[in-house]
Amino acid sequence: MRQLIILLLLPLIAACGRDEGKPPVSTHNADAAAQVTAVQIHEAVIYPQLTAQAQVISRNISSMAAQIAARISALPVEAGQKISRGTVVARLDCRDYKIALNQAQAAFAAAEARLQLANLQFKRSEDLAAKNFISGDALDKQRTEVNVAKADRDLQAGQVDGAQSNVGKCIITAPFAAIVEAVPGNVGELASPGMPLVTLWDLQSLEVSAQVQAKDAESLAKAEVIEFQTPDGRYLLKLKRVSPAMSGTSRTQEARLVFGKEIPKPGATGQILWQSAVPHLPADLLVMRKGALGIFVLEQGHARFVAVADAQEGRPAPFQPTSDMQLITEGRFALQDGQAVSVQSSGATPTPTK
């Protein structure tokens, strides 16, 4: 049995002796150029559509408040109602103020009568003084009584104006065409000065407030076409301003935009849409190398990795290419920086890059 085993092993030992010292055959040539496809970079960049959350608001949201202390007698409008300018939105019980007006008017009439009497007496005194029937002191006294009566008449006239103003405050009307947002008052309540009764949205002051990412603010300012998209449709907008202040929580900047001819419903929510004026690299062309996202470009027959600043995985990245830059598209995932490459012509045999 031992002799049989030795006879079987002898050929194997001889074969190992013949292969000893020979280098192993390599299945990969490390110096071979990688086959890739490249295009001019201006053919690959895109100008993506950018968005930002937005809402229709009014520059003028007025809280129509009571200006006098009176009981609320009527609130003839409802929340959500569209009203025209001059529409009565609230009525207050005005009986006490009408009584005060009547009293002021009566006091004014009495003061006017006293002034007329003082003027007549002064005129007679002037005639008597001309004939030396009364002294100069008596004439001065009559002149003073005229001035006092005149001052009292002016005072009462002011009281009438004040009473009339209070009566006018018993009826509250809309100062503009509006949408009734809320009716916080209640009929029968005692309203005090400053108490909100009705809240109105000015329909002539509607605009869009959008929260724009800080990195997109400049692009929005340069956009030629901006739209506001809602479930009801799209509306053309024009940029009014972008606030330089940044939100402390969301790190966004508020943009205000105004409508063209068509206007959506007040309070409508949606998003604004515009096309970036800055070239971007598609997200699927970005590759990760040493913790940085970037692209591979051709440079004298080799692949050079170019990191893209502020690039985020899965999102197009803003990039300003040079006019002669060639972007490697196919074969980029296996490349390393500085690796030799061979560019494939479209549908042809690979041709080395010079």
For 148-185, the DSSP string reads HHHHHHHHHHHHHHHHHHHHHTTEEE-SSSEEEEE---
Q: Which CATH architecture has domain 34-46+280-352?
A: Beta Barrel (2.40)
Res 157: pLDDT: 95
Question: By three-state DSSP, how is residue 128 classified?
Answer: helix
Unique residue bearing structure tokens 């900047």: 253
Encoded tokens for 278: 């800055």
Q: Determine the Cα–Cα distance for residues 64 and 184; give it in Å rounded to an integer.
A: 10
> pLDDT tens track of the chain, all 354 residues?
555 555 555 555 554 444 444 434 333 444 578 999 999 998 999 998 999 999 999 999 999 999 999 999 999 999 989 999 999 999 999 999 999 999 999 999 999 999 999 999 889 888 887 878 778 888 888 889 999 999 999 999 999 999 999 999 999 999 999 999 999 999 999 999 999 999 999 988 899 999 998 888 888 998 999 999 999 899 999 999 999 998 877 789 999 999 988 888 888 999 999 998 888 999 999 999 999 999 999 998 999 999 998 888 888 898 888 878 999 999 999 999 999 999 986 443 333 433
Residues 6+ apart with CB under 8 A from 336: 289, 303, 305
Burial 295-318 (b: 16+ CB within 10 A, else e): bbbbeeebbbbbebeebeeeebbb
Rg from Cα positions in the chain = 45
Output the CA torsion sign for 244, 247, 252, 257: negative
One of 3.40.50, 1.10.8, 1.10.287, 2.60.40 is the CATH number of 95-168, namely 1.10.287
| Identity of the amino acid at 261 | K
Burial of 289 from C-beta contacts in 10 A (0-12 / 13-18 / 19+): middle
Res 132: pLDDT: 82
Question: By three-state DSSP, how is residue 204 classified?
Answer: helix
Q: Determine the Cα–Cα distance for residues 135 and 128; give it in Å rounded to an integer.
A: 9
Q: Determine the Cα–Cα distance for residues 57 and 202; give it in Å rounded to an integer.
A: 9
From first CA to last CA, the distance across the chain in angstroms is 68
67-91+173-202: CATH number: 2.40.50.100
One of 3.60.21.10, 2.40.30.170, 2.40.50.840, 1.10.1060.10 is the CATH number of 50-58+204-275, namely 2.40.30.170
Integer angstrom CA distances of residue 114 from 100, 147, 155, 160, 349: 21, 11, 13, 17, 118
For the chain, what are the domain ranges? 34-46+280-352, 50-58+204-275, 67-91+173-202, 95-168
Encoded tokens for 28: 């990969």
